[in-house]
Amino acid sequence: MPVEPNTIHQKDCFDLLREIGDGTADLVVLDPNYQDWDDLLARGLFEESIRVLKPTGNILLFTKKPYDLHLRNKIDPLFRNELIWKYKKNGNWYSHRMPIYTYQKIYWCCHADFFYNPQTGIPHDRTLGDERRQDQGDEFIGYGLDEQLFTIDYAYGGQWLKDFLDIPRKRENKTIPTKPTELCQILIRCFSPLDGLVVDPFMGGGNVVFTAMRERRRFIGGDTDEACFKFASEKIAQR
Ligand SMILES: C[S@@+](CC[C@H](N)C(=O)[O-])C[C@H]1O[C@@H](n2cnc3c(N)ncnc32)[C@H](O)[C@@H]1O
């Protein structure tokens, strides 16, 4: 039985993905426990995600050091770019023989004809001049404040997506993993169209699917953990 859009499930990621039709998802978010990446890749998680993806769809994969290396190699044929998510002001301390960890990575994969909305919908901060984008003909060469700038239409779009996202992680619950709403909003707005289908097989507390719902996308979410499933179910029921 195929899973219906706008539902979440207490299921293993492979069982869930197998019930999603070929070429139906606009965005697949893969955010497993990072130490599981090698095992999940060996079992075909990336191929299964590509199977459910529309030709214009995107896959976003969360990771961090040291799990990023094999993942990056494995996804190389469809790799397009990466975002750095700085999630902690002071960082996580692992060892006095290594730098303190402050960021995670989000790898972006897609086919050649992908959906991309370059603006986040987050209002511009005019004090930074971030509404301006420096272009030279068709070639994008950067942002900045100098002569070659043009000003974009304020009615559309908000801040341009940057490859460095400084968004503090606020845990909503001591034991349930949740990504910050602003990060979910940005990823959903930039990487999926209105009414598109967002699939999150490792949804944890469900912020990606919840935000997808609020951003007028359809969603399918899953997690093996009962407490996560319950937390996400309650969140979605509240709307
Ligand atoms: C890093 S957390 C991500 C949570 C969530 N995406 C968030 O917003 O923070 C990984 C989640 O994957 C779930 N998980 C682990 N193995 C799984 C599997 N084989 N299938 C589905 N979910 C799994 C865990 O229960 C956990 O909630």
- In short, whether 201's Cβ falls inside 6 Å of ligand 1 is yes
Query: Which residue is it, tokens 């949740």?
Result: 178
Q: What are the residue boundaries of the structural domains of the chain, listed by start?
A: 7-118+161-238, 122-158
pLDDT reported for residue 148: 40
From 62, 224, 229, 231, mutation site for ligand 1 pocket: most ligand atoms within 8 A of C-beta: 224
List, for residues 175-213, the tens digit of each pLDDT value: 999 999 999 999 999 999 999 999 999 999 999 999 999
Q: What per-residue confidence (pLDDT) applies to 134?
A: 54
Render 34-58 in DSSP notation, one character per residue. Answer: GGGHHHHHHTTHHHHHHHHEEEEEE
Minimum CA distance residue for ligand 1 atom 1: 33
CATH class of the domain defined by 7-118+161-238: alpha beta
Query: 223 CA distance to ligand 1 centroid (A)?
Result: 6
238 C-alpha to center of ligand 1: Å? 22
Contacts of 63 (CB under 8 A, 6+ apart): 34, 37, 71, 104, 105, 106, 107
Check residue 93 and give its pLDDT: 81
Sign of the CA dihedral running 5, 11, 13, 16 = negative
- Find out whether the beta carbon of 180 lies less than 6 Å from any atom of ligand 1: no
Provide the whole-model pTM. 0.91
Q: At what angle do helices 207-214 and 181-191 cross, to 10 degrees?
A: 60
CA 123/CA 168 separation, integer angstroms? 18
In this prediction, residue 153 carries a pLDDT of 40
- Site to substitute for ligand 1 among 202, 211, 224, most atoms within 8 A of C-beta: 202
Q: Does 31 contact ligand 1 (Cβ within 6 A)?
A: yes
Could you tell me if the CB of 223 is within 6 A of ligand 1?
yes
CA distance 12 to 40: 11
The CA-CA-CA angle for residues 203, 23, 183, to 5°, reads 35
Q: Which residues of the chain have pLDDT under 70?
A: 126-156
